[in-house]
A and B are shown apart, each in its own frame.
Chain A
């Protein structure tokens, strides 16, 4: 097979590789029911450890949206005050920019993981 002329020198990044590039700037969002006992009859907690920020609300979506609503200002304050580790800076900047450009809810949603619970298998 002949080598493709632009094979190793293309300037184009595929979307699959783009997802891999987000390593290191994705925040961590932990979701868990407040009592830790029931996934269905409880308040939900959404926790953003990078900002020491949590929001408690009646459902998963509400908890995430509340967290998203408060995260922009909190990230900006940390950046302005220099109140952060250097390692956290990319995450904080990414969070703040996502808030300012209306994409923070998608960011937190894709970063959210059920905390301390194991998903049951279907088999």
Chain B
């Protein structure tokens, strides 16, 4: 099924939201909107960027990234909450990175340039998509299913910018300032959630990012569902609508596969099929033959 029109509409609404929040600004007399440098023009830049905080060198890296929205997202609506790219940004950064990772996992590669992010996200999402469809977690997904997992999800950045890494650093990790952690999630995530209308949320890593989700207006953590220490599970209530939320280890943590195993076990024991597709679950149960005792 070609979901291009739905994907286009989602992106149009996201672009409108970014323009509405002033992240894309129309220059005088211009037709195209241009990304603003967040560290200089975002409404919260004074709080987020204390003096002497290193700014990114590349001017293209200073703009907010639009979420990745996969080709089949409209029929699955799994939203992955992640972080911004360290030392890289710009409106299409998340799109390019996610799309590139989708291609690599589809080719059967477990890492992309030394990063296992694409593989880990695909496996987390594939587990949730299977559970949504009432399917077993076995056998393990093949590359085609992993690429389809990237198509089924959207990736949003809880925080849109972070200081540049120190010069000469051999590793670049996104390390937002306290101001960014507190200001950014309530600034954009509620609108992004409203547009994306998730059926399930995967928050990567037990950082402040997932705590921030619970503090968003209109979001409540209703009931903790039996999970495990390595893959937490909650029920989120967004605008009165309940949906499952999972908090596995961040793919940057070397034990993320422990988390994946725990997530699969948890979904096998407590599938989310009935939670996210109640109509189909009812139809399936009413169509099932009655057992005679």
A residues lining the B interface (CB < 8 Å):
5-18, 20-25, 69, 72, 76, 79-80, 82, 86, 89-90, 93-94, 96-104, 106
Q: Is the CB of B250 within 8 A of A94?
A: no
Chain B: number of interface residues, binned into ranges: 35 or more
Going nearest first, the 4 A-B pairs with the smallest beta carbon separation are A21-B100, A17-B113, A11-B252, A101-B91
B96 at the interface (CB under 8 A from A): yes
Q: Is the CB of B2 within 8 A of A86?
A: yes
B contact residues around A69 at 8 Å (CB): 31
| CB atoms of A16 and B111 under 8 A apart | no
Q: Which of A21, A25, A90 has the most CB of B within 10 A?
A: A21
Kindly state the separation between the CA atoms of A18 and B86 in the bound complex, as whole angstroms.
13
* Chain B residues with a Cβ under 8 A of chain A: 2, 4-5, 7-8, 11, 15, 24, 31-35, 60, 63, 66, 71, 85-88, 90-92, 95-97, 99-101, 103-104, 111-117, 120, 171-173, 250-254, 256
Which residue of B24, B87, B251 contacts A11 across the interface (Cβ within 8 Å)?
A: B251
Using known A-B contacts A18-B100, A86-B2, determine if residue A103 contacts B24 with beta carbons closer than 8 Å. no
Residues of chain B contacted by A20 (CB below 8 angstroms): 100, 113
**Residue of B32, B86, B117, B120 touching A100 (CB-CB under 8 A):** B32
Q: Cβ of A10 and Cβ of B114 under 8 Å apart?
A: yes
Contact indicator A11/B5 (Cβ below 8 Å): no
State whether B252 touches A89 (Cβ < 8 A): no
